Chain A
C-alpha cells in the first residue's frame, strides 16, 4: 500500500510542479502586467502544492528523499504528471485553455480529496482547494472573454481547446493501484469526477458561445512515465542548477 500511496502522491505533486514551472515561463511576457501577476500567482500556488505533496511522498517512501530531491533529481520517465500540463504554452489562448481544463479538473479532485481517508492528503487538499477556486475562476473568465471576443481571439481559443482535448483520457486515467486507493477512500475516483468536470466545462463553454469539441484521438501514458519530448526540455531548464551544483545552498 505504501508504494501505491507514494505513486499517487507523485501524480498529484508532479501535476502541480510541472504546470507551475510552465506558467513561470510567462513571467515578464504576459499581455498585461495584471495578467503577468496572475499567472505568477498561479505558478506560486501550484509549486506550493507540489512542495507539500512531494514532501509527503518523500516521507512515505522513507528513502531519504525530500521534495527538492524528488523535483530536481528524477528524469522524465520517473515523472507521473498528466500529459496536459507538460504541453508548451503556445499563445495566451492556448495557455488559458489548458489552465481552464486543468483547474476545472483539479478543483473537482481536491474537493473530493478534502474528505480523503488519508489525513495528510485531506489537509493539503483543504488548503489548496481554496486557491484552485481562484485559478478555475480566472481561467473560465478568459475562456469566455476570448471565446466570445473578436474573430481572432475566438479562433485562437477554439484552437487552444482542440489542442488540449487530445489529453482528456490521460487526465482522467486510473490504473489498478489508484483504483485500490480509491476503494480504500484515499484517492479520488476519477471516473466519477469526469462527468462533474465535463458539466462545469460545458457550462463555461456555453457562456463563451463555444461548442464542446468532439473527442479526437487520445494520447495517454503520462501517469506511467511515457511523456512527450516537451517534458525533457522543461526538466532540463528546471533542474540544471541543482544538478550542476548538488547540495549547494544559498
Chain B
C-alpha cells in the first residue's frame, strides 16, 4: 500500500489499522489490505482531504461492491466519515500485490497462493503447485476457472484432496 508523503503519518496509520480489519467477503481469512485491494491512502495537498484508494481484482468480480461497502462502513464506524473512497483501475491488480502475511493465511486456509513474481507469466500452470494440505508437488489442474474469478480448481495426486489455487494474474 502506498501512503502519500503529504499525509499525516499518524492519521494514515490509524486509517490503515481500520482497513486491516476489513475481511475479503469471499476469503474472510485475509484482509482487503493483505489481498492488495487497498492501493493507497492519499491526501489532497490543498484541502488536506484524505482518500482511500481501492482496486478491483477482476473487472466483473461481484465482491467488489461488497468490499466497497464494507470499507465504507468500517471507516464510518471508526469515525472516518470524511475520508473518501475511490476505485482505481491503474495499475491493474495482480497476484503480486498479495503480501506475505496474506499468502501464508491463504495456504493455511487451504488455498494455494501464487508464487511471488508469477504475475501473468504463467497461464498454463507450468510452475510447481504445492498442495496446501499435504505439501506434495504432485498436483494437477482440474479447471482453470474455479468458484470465484480469482481462483482455479486443482487436485492433489498424493492426498487426493481437491483445492483452490489463486490464479497467477
Name A's B-contacting residues (CB within 8 A). Answer: 20, 34-35, 37-38, 40-49, 51-52, 123-124, 126-128, 130-131, 133-134, 137-138
Name B's A-contacting residues (CB within 8 A). Answer: 56, 58-62, 89-94, 120, 123-124, 142-147, 149, 153, 167, 169
Residues in A whose Cβ lies below 8 Å from that of B90: 123, 126-127
Residues in A whose Cβ lies below 8 Å from that of B124: 137
Residues in B whose Cβ lies below 8 Å from that of A44: 58, 60-62, 149
- How far does the Cβ of A69 sit from chain B's closest Cβ, in whole Å? 18
CA distance in complex: A52, B64 (Å)? 13
Residues in B whose Cβ lies below 8 Å from that of A49: 59-60
Cβ–Cβ contact A124 & B120, under 8 A: no
Cβ–Cβ contact A45 & B142, under 8 A: no
Cβ–Cβ contact A134 & B123, under 8 A: yes
CA distance in complex: A52, B120 (Å)? 22
CA distance in complex: A134, B123 (Å)? 7
- How far does the Cβ of B84 sit from chain A's closest Cβ, in whole Å? 19
Cβ–Cβ contact A45 & B149, under 8 A: yes
- How far does the Cβ of B155 sit from chain A's closest Cβ, in whole Å? 11
CA distance in complex: A49, B91 (Å)? 16
Cβ–Cβ contact A45 & B59, under 8 A: yes
Residues in A whose Cβ lies below 8 Å from that of B145: 34, 37-38, 40-42, 134, 138
Of the candidates A34, A41, A126, A137, which one forms a contact with B142 in the assembled complex, judged by CB atoms under 8 Å apart?
A34
- Beyond the given A127-B59, A130-B92, A134-B144, could you list 14 further A-B residue pairs with CB under 8 A, ordered by the A residue number? A37-B145, A37-B146, A37-B147, A38-B143, A44-B149, A47-B60, A48-B58, A52-B89, A126-B91, A126-B92, A127-B89, A127-B90, A130-B169, A137-B124
Cβ–Cβ contact A34 & B143, under 8 A: yes
Give me 30 A-to-B residue pairs in the complex whose CB atoms sit less than 8 angstroms apart, sorted by A's number.
A34-B145, A37-B143, A37-B145, A38-B143, A38-B144, A42-B145, A44-B58, A44-B60, A44-B149, A46-B60, A48-B56, A48-B58, A48-B59, A48-B60, A49-B59, A52-B89, A123-B89, A123-B92, A124-B59, A124-B89, A126-B90, A126-B91, A127-B90, A127-B92, A130-B120, A131-B149, A134-B145, A134-B167, A137-B124, A138-B145
CA distance in complex: A49, B89 (Å)? 12
CA distance in complex: A52, B61 (Å)? 12
CA distance in complex: A42, B60 (Å)? 9
For A137, the closest partner residue in chain B by CB is B123
Known: A130-B120, A137-B123. A45 touches B146 (CB 8 A): no
For B91, the closest partner residue in chain A by CB is A126
Cβ–Cβ contact B59 & A52, under 8 A: yes
CA distance in complex: A52, B93 (Å)? 15
- How far does the Cβ of A99 sit from chain B's closest Cβ, in whole Å? 13
